[in-house]
Amino acid sequence: MASTIGNSNPLDVEKEAVVIDDVPHSPEITKGVDTKILKHSHDADAAMKAFEGMNGQVIELSEESNKALLRKIDLHLMPIMCVVYGLNYLDKTTLSYASIMGLKLPPSDNKLKSGINLVGDQYQWLGSMFYFGYLAWEYPTTRLLQRLPLGKYSAFNVIMWGTVLACFAAVENNAGAIAVRFFLGVFESAVTPGFALLTSQWYTKKEQGARTGIWFSFNGWAQIFGGLVAYGIAVGSRKSGTVIEPWKIVFLFTGLLTACLGVLFLWIVPDNQMNCRWLSKEERILAIERIRMNGQGVGNKHFKFYQLKEALLDPLSWAFFFYALIADIPNGGLSNFFSQLIVGFGYTPEQSLLYGTPGGAVEVVFLIACGWAGDRYGYRVLISMIGLCTAILGMILIVALPLSSNSGRLAGYYLTQASPTPFVSLLSLISSNVAGYTKKTTVAAMYLIGYCVGNIIGPQTFRPGDAPRYVPAEVTIIVCWGVCLGILAFIHLYCVWQNKKKAQIRAGPEYVKLENQEWLDLTDRENPEFVYTL
């Protein structure tokens, strides 16, 4: 891999250049090229600055150097991203563990049996309140991810969400719990879009699916870890007693652990390749050069209204949105009620904490396997549908088997934990298939707004009067996942169609590719060189 940097910059032009939108362009460059592209090219990606002053210098990135650089990037970024994202899931589901550890009980002099007196549907709304905060702040936080230093802003949110979660141990009533859950959603709303941006910033399209699957799979590891920790706290409290209520210990432990890791995240994760402390000056240039093929650059801090408009008019954006909305109705229900669901299978509350952990292992296996296979064989969306079909089978087992079949229904629950594979696949497609920094942050916000709305609706499908079977909620889940299969098929076929259209444009006799076109912050729709990952 080699490229010449310097005078090839299309913005370095002679005096007789053509002027388009107050920006000079050479006649050779403008010939046969859509002026819509040139209209916005003056606001190039930040990566263009990295190559200033390198006139005529040839950058060569050998296969061996590329592998060594990738290993170094993985070593520094992936561990902290994985652990933090695992805590992102654990911190949301801590409420489910606390619900069977005394949180819902009325206040009492007995510290082991004292809660905040949740009655009626207050617990359902407490589960949803997190997503109201997430929803309210999702678009503002994606704009801040674009405007502010990416690494520092992400770290700030990690520290703050850990601190807020620890504050849950101090709540004394439902009103206080609602406030904490709301602000927990506010600060966690930056994590998923921020990690998607980091992944697109540091990895090639062929690497993004597997990497996204790996850090998202730590949701499963967190479910295993959280279940074991909650079980240990519950058993230890019962046998030896504690100074404070067991459910409060869970919130303190997970919250303070998150805040400490947020400080570590601030130290390790850079804003982009250009201020990365663990790369040499030469390695920073090579780290940018290796993602040239993405056609997306590393970031642009300027808001571009035309990219916002394109995002809102793009059918692919709305397919992402509706998938997230419909798929996360089941997620919102299961993530807040899985402990109570397992109790409904005939197990004790303590057993439910322990027996929920194998579901995390199922999620890890499916996410890593589907992420690897999607990158390896090039059909990321179609392969991810395997996980969703497995989850549908699991939910059918829960609905169809009698109450007496405890082990069979528990096995069905484990299979439902394969359901996140398409969600992660589409999250990685936002990294690789949406170009233009304003458009990318907008589509990410739309996707996660759909995620919030679905998770708000989800807990409301589990009504107290339906316990212990919750059949209406379980049937709703099956229907939602069935609709999602149709949306996934549309996304795949739409990307195939768009790639064919772009190939026809590139094959046209008048088409001319701009030099350094990869760094012009063009959208996926306006860049003929952009190829959608399937």
pLDDT, one tens digit per residue, over 39-87 is: 444 565 555 565 555 554 556 778 888 899 999 999 999 999 999 999 9
Within 8 A by CB and 6+ apart from 21, the residues are: 38, 39, 40, 42
Query: pLDDT below 70 — which residues of the chain?
Result: 1-59, 108-114, 294-300, 515-519
Count the neighbouring beta carbons within 10 Å of the beta carbon of residue 58: 10
What would the two tokens of residue 445 be? 């916000």
Are 66 and 1 spatial neighbours (Cβ–Cβ below 8 Å)?
Answer: yes
What would the two tokens of residue 361 be? 């292992």
Q: Quick one: pLDDT at residue 259?
A: 96
**Spans of all domains in the chain:** 63-270+280-503
CA–centroid distance for 98 within its chain: 25
Q: Quick one: pLDDT at residue 51?
A: 55
**DSSP for 11-26, written as a single string:** TS--TT-EEETTEEE-
CATH of 63-270+280-503, one of 1.10.3720.10, 3.40.50.1970, 2.60.40.10, 1.20.1250.20: 1.20.1250.20
Q: Quick one: pLDDT at residue 205?
A: 85
Length of the chain: 534
Within 8 A by CB and 6+ apart from 408, the residues are: 397, 401
**What is the number of alpha carbons within 13 Å of residue 247 lying toward its C-beta?**
25
**DSSP for 163-203, written as a single string:** HHHHHGGG--SHHHHHHHHHHHHHHHTTHHHHHHHHHHHHS
Q: Is 22 left (phi over 0), alpha (psi -120 to 50) or beta?
A: left
pLDDT, one tens digit per residue, over 468-507 is: 778 888 899 999 999 999 999 999 999 999 999 999 988 8
The DSSP output letter for 59 is E
Q: What pTM does this model have? A: 0.79
